Amino acid sequence: MVEVFHFPHQVPDVVHRPTPRNAIALRNWLYLVAALVFAMVLVGGATRLTESGLSIVEWKPVTGVIPPLSAAEWQAAFDDYKKIPQFAQMFPDMDVDGFKAIYAWEWAHRLLGRLIGLVFAVGLAWFWLRGRIPPGYKGKLLFILALGGLEGVVGWWMVKSGLSQRVDVAQERLAIHLLIASLIFSACLWVAGGLGEPRPSHIHAGRGRLRFVSKLTLGLVFIQLGLGGLVAGLRAGRIDNTWPLMEGGFAPSVETLFRLDPWWLNLVNNEVTVQFMHRTMAYVIFVIVFLHLLDAAANATGMAARGAAILFGHVLGQIALGVAALVLVEGYWYWANTPHILLALAHQAIGVAVLAVATLQARRLHAL
């Protein structure tokens, strides 16, 4: 009787054993989801840069996958768009063909969101029902699933902010939307990094310091992405287009930085303050990553050391792109195919790449 009682408790240890086959399949699935999230962030950036984010004024999670097909349906969607302030104040001369162009970007952005949700939910159900999720991973995967659902809700909350009184979305909601997407992306890479055999690495000394600095860097990269979202939402990249000086000096005056009252409003509503914080955080990350590179080169081998070098290279390239996007800004408007839009998209893409490298480096050192 005792053996019968205990037998069911022995089965999960056999079924859920993290075999190499299970680990590789789970890891590849998470990498696929991360790649889709990366693509969605880029499409979202293009949607923002082409002023397309408010072209779909309703939220239909299921039926919205089908775009307008007939001329009458396109006209109805266009008529809905003409009711919001953005049309009257920014694009009063737009015709249906122009509307189709901006609609395509927003529709593609939402379609990618649905695809990511489908790929993750179906994959999670398949691994779960087949007993191929190792112990300790179910909660992590459910957390990522919950983040995906939250991201959809926040996305619509962001769009709603631009449908009544504004001609664009609220910058703080845009930043939150970007941060949640970044968290999903990073979480997929972090969980995937714990599956399978790690590449050979060794730390001779300073293990705790290397771990701490890698995780500190990851946290600062998240903050920098949020600041980038505020810069984008405020169009703060269109002012102070000089470097390294800003407002004629290395830093704007205190009066300029805190011209809004109460003072904390400047952190989200003052274009000069937000751009200055974005610049300053880039310098801070650069110094920390450079010191991490020297530390890892002296005290680690294998991917622990190479990962620090790769991270430094990405940060250096991202700063160069950021400066170029700032000083080469053009007076572009609407969805004209200007070179600056491509430069701004590249800056956003490398920013997410920095997050990827920082995540993998922190995860790698966490396991050593």
Q: Which residues lie below 8 Å from residue 199, measured CB to CB, with a gap of 6+?
A: 302, 303, 364
Q: Give the span between the Cα atoms of 363 and 134, in whole angstroms.
A: 18
Condensed to tens digits (0 to 9), the pLDDT of residues 119-155 reads 999 999 999 999 999 889 999 999 999 999 999 999 9
Helices (H), the chain: 2-15, 20-49, 71-81, 85-90, 96-129, 138-160, 171-193, 207-234, 254-257, 266-269, 271-299, 303-327, 339-366
Q: Based on the domain organization, do 143 and 288 belong to the same domain?
A: no
Q: Based on the domain organization, do 254 and 299 belong to the same domain?
A: yes
Q: Give the span between the Cα atoms of 295 and 69, in whole angstroms.
A: 59
Q: Give the span between the Cα atoms of 109 and 113, in whole angstroms.
A: 6
Helix axes 171-193, 207-234, angle to 10 degrees: 150
Q: Based on the domain organization, do 217 and 169 belong to the same domain?
A: no
**pLDDT exceeding 70 applies to what percent of the chain?**
91
Domain boundary among 173, 197, 221: 197
Q: Based on the domain organization, do 160 and 242 belong to the same domain?
A: no
Using a cut of 0.85, tell me whether the model's pTM lies above it. yes
Tell me the backbone φ, ψ of residue 150, rounded to 5 degrees. -60, -40
Show the 3-state SS of 280-348: HHHHHHHHHHHHHHHHHHHHEEEHHHHHHHHHHHHHHHHHHHHHHHHHCCCCCCCCCCCHHHHHHHHHH
Mean pLDDT, the chain, rounded, equals 90
Q: Based on the domain organization, do 186 and 281 belong to the same domain?
A: no
Q: What total of structural domains would you count in the chain?
A: 2
Residue 87 is predicted with a pLDDT of 93
Answer yes or no: are the C-beta atoms of 159 and 148 closer than 8 Å: no
**Confidence band, pLDDT 50/70/90 cuts, at residue 62:** confident
- Closest Cα partner for 141 from 194, 197, 179, 178? 194
Residue 177 annotated in ligand binding: no
Domain boundary among 166, 182, 197: 197
Tell me the backbone φ, ψ of residue 202, rounded to 5 degrees. -150, 140
Residue 278 annotated in ligand binding: yes
Residue 343 sits at the vertex; the CA angle it makes with 333 and 34, to the nearest 5 degrees, is: 110
Condensed to tens digits (0 to 9), the pLDDT of residues 210-239 reads 999 999 999 999 999 999 999 999 999 989
Q: Based on the domain organization, do 179 and 239 belong to the same domain?
A: no
Domain of 301 in residue numbering reads as 201-368
3-class state of residue 154 by DSSP:
helix
